A and B are shown apart, each in its own frame.
Chain A
Amino acid sequence: MNDNDIQVFINGVRRYFDSIKRDVRVVIEPPFIKDEEKPFLEYTGIIGISGKAHGAVCFTANGVMLENILRFLNETPINRDVICDLVGEIANTLSGNAREEFGRDFLISVPIVSTGQNVRFQFPSDSRNYVIPIIWQAEKAFLLVCIKQDTR
């Protein structure tokens, strides 16, 4: 995984938020590398990656952003179960969309959802952890790409 590969995920984030409501712009700040502590927020959807790469892709956000997305989707009622469902689905969409670039051997798991900042998942120790900051409606989220590619 390198800086150019991260662009694939940035494109996916833009596509996802544009699909919610095109006239509400998403701001994607410059990605950075954070190999130690990961910036988990209230809700995190985790997708395990295997096949030609291994690791995980995580979408993490606070409840306010996720509730706002659900309102745009006309989802009612909004509760913790629905929020967890959504955060997993966003992680799934952003990971699955990356197969446009990485191909069919970029295997993605079903989502695992974690709440709180103490996320229990075995992240690969030998990968770089890219963090993509996302701002939408004044709320912040992060896409974490913790992947080591075996071959390209």
Chain B
Amino acid sequence: MKLLIVDDSSVVRRAIERDLESGEITEVDQAATGEDAVRLYSAKRHDVVTLDITMPGMDGLTCLDKIVEINPEARVLIISALRDKATAIDAIKRGASGFLCKPINPSELKEAFKLLIED
């Protein structure tokens, strides 16, 4: 299973990778910008993408639109500090499979990931 972790913080990217380490994941890619994420996803069609929203350059919601355009069945879990319901609803409407708020709770992250890959 291929995982793409998108966040402008390297600390967050590595924390997500550590939290999701399991035998199921065979390949992990990381991107610090929306632009890099779209390029990587376009080339490798990862099974799951975790995606931040507030990033320099292309924001996460625009990145989500582009990933969904490439693959309408993409499984994208938004992980964002933006804790308002409107943003979460918007992300789901635009094709996200789930929405988690920062700070990241490792148990919630693992559970959300499990639900996503079982889907």
> Per-residue CB proximity of A54-76 to B under 8 Å, as 1/0?
00000000000000001001110
How far apart are A14's CB and chain B's nearest CB, in angstroms? 11
What chain A residues lie within 8 Å of B55 (beta carbons)?
110
CA distance A98 to B82 in the complex (A): 8
How far apart are A25's CB and chain B's nearest CB, in angstroms? 16
B54-A92 in contact (CB<8A): yes
List B residues 1-60 near A (Cβ within 8 Å).
Answer: 8-12, 14-15, 18, 54-56
Contacts known (A99-B83, A110-B56); A93 close to B11, Cβ less than 8 A: no
What chain B residues lie within 8 Å of A109 (beta carbons)?
54
A110-B84 in contact (CB<8A): no
How far apart are A83's CB and chain B's nearest CB, in angstroms? 9
A16-B54 in contact (CB<8A): no
CA distance A106 to B104 in the complex (A): 21
Q: How large is the interface on B (under 10, 10 to 19, 20 to 34, 35 or more residues)?
A: 20 to 34
Q: At the interface, yes or no: B103 with Cβ under 8 Å from chain A?
A: yes
CA distance A61 to B14 in the complex (A): 22
List A residues 90-135 near B (Cβ within 8 Å).
Answer: 92-100, 102-104, 106, 108-110
Q: At the interface, yes or no: A85 with Cβ under 8 Å from chain B?
A: yes
CA distance A96 to B101 in the complex (A): 9
Q: How large is the interface on A (under 10, 10 to 19, 20 to 34, 35 or more residues)?
A: 20 to 34
How far apart are B36's CB and chain A's nearest CB, in angstroms? 15
Q: At the interface, yes or no: A19 with Cβ under 8 Å from chain B?
A: yes
Please name the residue on chain B nearest to A96 by beta carbon: B81
CA distance A73 to B81 in the complex (A): 18
Please name the residue on chain B nearest to A110 by beta carbon: B56
A99-B84 in contact (CB<8A): yes
A-B contact pairs, 21 of them (CB 8 A): A15-B103, A20-B103, A70-B11, A86-B9, A86-B11, A88-B9, A89-B11, A92-B81, A92-B102, A93-B81, A93-B102, A96-B83, A97-B81, A99-B84, A102-B84, A103-B86, A104-B86, A108-B54, A108-B81, A109-B54, A110-B55
A73-B11, A81-B10, A94-B81 known, 4 other contacts, Cβ within 8 Å: A82-B11, A96-B80, A102-B84, A104-B86
- Pick the 4 closest A-B CB pairs, nearest first: A96-B81, A19-B103, A99-B84, A100-B83
Residues on B lying within 8 angstroms of A by beta carbon are 8-12, 14-15, 18, 54-56, 80-84, 86-87, 101-105
Residues on A lying within 8 angstroms of B by beta carbon are 15-16, 19-20, 70, 73-75, 81-82, 85-86, 88-89, 92-100, 102-104, 106, 108-110
